[in-house]
Amino acid sequence: MAEIVLGVGSSHGPTIQSTPERWLALGAKDFEDPRYSFEDALKSAPADIEEQIAPERMQARYEAIQRAIARLSDVMAEAAADVIVVVSNPHGVPPADRMEPVFGIYMSESDSTIARSGHQTSARRRARPVQEVERRVEDYATSPELADHLMRSLIDEGIDVASCFQSHATAGIEGPFTFPYDLFLADRTSAAVVPFLLSRYLPHQATPARCYQVGQAIRRSIEAWDSDKKVAIFASGGLSHQIIDEELDRRVIQALLAKDVETLSYLPREQLNRAPGTPEILNWIVLAGAMEQEEMTLIDYIPCYRSLAGTGHGVTLGYWK
């Protein structure tokens, strides 16, 4: 039977993939984002926010991120998984592709490749007229056998999961699902990808408790797969952003470390949805359910502020093995 060799959680996005200069540019645009009130965020920002966005503090955090990336890359290389189930979220696809199931599994149309979407329309621009976006196609190996097995076994367990397919030649899965290959794996052909989609938007957003249960079911499914493959599960996204909530982040991290299922299952949904990116914490809860038999190792938690309103990203990296 298949073996789960590793569980990984990592933030994704421009903070972890760019320099502090880029963080400041993002911070300068945060006041335009229609998804939250920049003015309200200003009122609730940390008292020492000016120190938090000082150049030397931002540079130190950037360097901490690079160290964490290097360490996690080593962990993934050592595990040498044959297949990676990536738990993440749709991030705003073109209307022709639009479908947002609560849970979904991306089913490739062939046995070999998956097309990845290129540049997407930024969420902060959604209030403006639709613009043409560039799209590029890149190929990633897939595991249609595991995808099919997951879909069937989860449905057998009473979890209604959608099958998601490419709708036309240049529409594929988004960057959050191929993120592990872009940042942590030297060879993107070294492991196949099975994207597991989790909606982060209300009202079609699963509860934390349900996410934990789904993670448990994913583990059971993988361990029942008649294969000799080594499988990793990767939660791509989180923790709090675009408004940093250090209290929430630290509570989640402590619960992950302590295997505190009660805390993880009943995180306040209002707090989870205070900022548009923060519901990606649900990806980590799915992972926690799947890896509940293993211990978590926290590599680092790095709150990367980028504006006087406390916007930014609670960058977090860790693993289970």
Of residues 176, 216, 220, 231, the one with CA closest to residue 200: 176
- Residues 256-295 have pLDDT tens digits of 999 999 999 999 999 999 988 999 999 999 999 999 999 9
Name the residue with higher pLDDT: 70 or 111. 70
Provide the 8-state DSSP code for 130.
P
Would the pLDDT of 120 be above 60?
no
Would the pLDDT of 125 be above 80?
no
Name the residue with higher pLDDT: 85 or 29. 85
Domain at 187, CATH number? 3.40.830.10
- H/E stretch holding 271 reads helix 269-272
Calculate the alpha carbon distances from 64 to 9, 186, 217, 237, 305 in Å: 16, 20, 34, 18, 14
- Asked if residues 179 and 236 have their Cβ atoms less than 8 Å apart, the reply is yes
pLDDT of residue 164: 81
d(CA 43, CA 21): 25
Three-state SS string over 166-234 comes to CCCCCCCECHHHHHHHHHCCCCCCCCEEEEEEECCCCCCCCCHHHHHHHHHHHHHHHHCCCCCCEEEEE
- Residues 297-318 have pLDDT tens digits of 999 999 999 989 889 999 999 9
Q: What is the mean pLDDT of residues 225-250?
A: 96
Would the pLDDT of 220 be above 60?
yes
pLDDT of residue 24: 84
pLDDT of residue 38: 74
Number of domains in the chain: 1
pLDDT of residue 94: 42
d(CA 86, CA 199): 14
Would the pLDDT of 158 be above 60?
yes
pLDDT of residue 183: 87
d(CA 244, CA 78): 32
**pLDDT interval class at 167 (50, 70, 90):** very low
Would you give the distance in Å from CA 82 to the centre of its chain? 20
Q: What is the mean pLDDT of residues 47-60?
A: 94
End-to-end CA distance of the chain: 18
**Domain limits at 191?**
3-125+133-320
Q: What is the mean pLDDT of the chain?
A: 85
b/e sequence 181-215, b meaning 16+ C-beta within 10 Å: bebbbeeeeebbbbbbbbbbeeeebbebbbbbbbb
Spell out the residues 6+ positions from residue 20 whose beta carbon is closer than 8 angstroms to its own.
55, 58, 59, 61, 62
Would the pLDDT of 170 be above 90?
no
Q: What is the mean pLDDT of residues 60-83?
A: 96
Would the pLDDT of 190 be above 90?
no
pLDDT of residue 18: 87
**pLDDT interval class at 172 (50, 70, 90):** low
Q: What is the mean pLDDT of residues 98-123?
A: 61
